[in-house]
Structure 1
Amino acid sequence: MKDFDGLKAVVTGGASGIGLAAARLLAERGARVAVLDLDADGVPEPLRGHRADVSDDASVTAAVSDAAGALRGIDVLVNNAGIGAVGTVEDNDDAEWHRVLDVNLLGIVRTTRAALRHLRRSAHPAIVNTCSVAATAGLPQRALYSATKGAVLSLTLAMAADHVREGIRVNCVNPGTADTPWIGRLLDRAADPAAERAALDARQPMGRLVTADEVAAAIAYLASPAAASVTGTALAVDGGMQGLRLRAPEPGR
C-alpha cells in the first residue's frame, strides 16, 4: 500500500515504542516522515529526526517549523509523545500532576497549535492523538495518567468540532496495555515481573498485551485519506478490554 504517497507526516515521541512503529509504517506506505523527540539522534532512515521537548513551547514551535521546512509542508500530525504515572489520587504531589499533564495534554496543544497553519494548506489534513483505554475504563493505580488521557479524549472531540469545517480531521487511538519500553520499565520494577506481566495479559480479554505495530496500524488508518469521513472518533486497540465483559473461565478449561 502506498496510500500516503506525496504526503508529509510529523510524529511526536517517534523515537521508540508506538511512535516509532507509526512513523515507520507511514514511511513504508509512502509518506515523508519527521520524528519529534527528546532524543531523535538515533532515528532510522528514511525518518528525519528533530529534537523537541513537548513541554516547552519554544522548542515545539522551532521543531515543527524545521520539520515543515524539511518536508515542505505537513499533512498528518500524530500527537504521540507522552509519559506514564503510577498511583492513586494521593500518591503524586502537585509537581508531578503538573509535569504529566504538561507533557500528555499540553504537549498536544503546543504541537497542534504550531502545526495548524501547515495543515490548513494540505489537501488531506489529519491529526491523530494517542489516547488510552485509561480514558474510558477505571484502572487501578492510574489516577494521574487516566486524568491526562481523559482530557486527551475530550480535547480530541473538541478539536474535531473546531476544525471539521476547515477539512481537518481529528481522531484518537485508545490502546490497551501495550508492550512498550515504558511498560517494560514498569515490569522491571515489580517485585515479581513475570507475575505482573501475567496479570496485565489477563486484564485484556485476548489474553496478551497490545503490540506497538497494532496501534500503529490504527493510527495509519485514521491518518489515511481513505478515512476521509472519519473524524471525532476514538478507535480502541485494546484486545477487547473496554467493550467486552467475559464470564470467568470454567474450572479445568
Structure 2
Amino acid sequence: MEKITFLFDPRSPWCYQTSRWARRLEALGEIELDWGLFSLEVVNLAADEDPAALDAEYGAALRTAILLRDRHGRAEMGRFYAALGALMWEQEPPAAGPDGPAPAPSSAESSRAALAALGHDPALVDAATADPATWTAVLAEHRSWLDRVRGFGVPTLVFDGGAGPAVFGPVIRELPDDETCVELWRHFSGLARYDYLFEVKRRKELTLRAELPAAVWRADLRVQAMRAAREAQRPGGPYEGSSLEWAMAGLRQDSTS
C-alpha cells in the first residue's frame, strides 16, 4: 500500500477537497495517510518579512494542530483537519446582509468547534495560541517541507511516507465516485513517479470554485480583505512595500487593537 504524507493548510478549499479524495482512497485501501503542515501565509511573505512576527489568520488552527499532534499523535492531527475542514467548507454559509457577505468565524473559533466535535477540550486552542513555542514549531515544520520538497502550495502529496517525490495536487473541483477516485489515483500516482515530468495544467477560469457549500462565501470575504490590503499597500499607505499577506495580517491586527 502506498504511504502518502499530505501537506495541508486549512485556509485552502482546494486542499480540503483533495483531502476528501485522499481520505476516501484510504478508506478504500488504496493508500495510507500521514499529515504535515504548510502555511500559505508564510510562503507568500516577502523575503525581508519575519514570519515569526506574523499574526497569521490561520495561525490558531495550525498551532492547535501542532499541539494536538504532540499530545495525541499525527493521526489525531489529521482528524482535526477533517473536522475543521468540514466546519469551514461544508457548512452552508449565513445569509448575506445589506453590507455584503456575513463575516466568517475566526480560525480560533472554528478550531474550538472542531475540537469539541472530536471530543477534545476546546481550551486546547487557547493553550496553543498562548504558547509561543507552537508557532515556532509550525514554522519549523513549514521550513522543513520547504527545504525537503521545495514546496510552494497545498495540496502537496509526498510519496514513500514523506521520503519520496512530492507533487502539488491534484487539484480537484468535486469529489468523484469511488471507482473514479481510484482511477484518478492510479493515473496520478503513475505520473508522479516520472521525475522528468514537470507540469500538466489546464486553463483556469477566475470564477472557478471548489464544489463546497462555503467556498464562494469565503472567497468573497477574502477578496474584500485583499482589496483593503492593496489600498494599504499604495504609496503613502501604512503597508507600502509590504507583501499582500503582511498587509492583510496588519489590517486584521489594526482592527482588533
Whether these two folds match at TM > 0.5 is no
| Structure with more helix by fraction | 2
Structure with more contact order per residue of length (Cα contacts < 8 Å, sep ≥ 6): 2
TM-score (norm 2): 0.30
TM-score (norm 1): 0.30
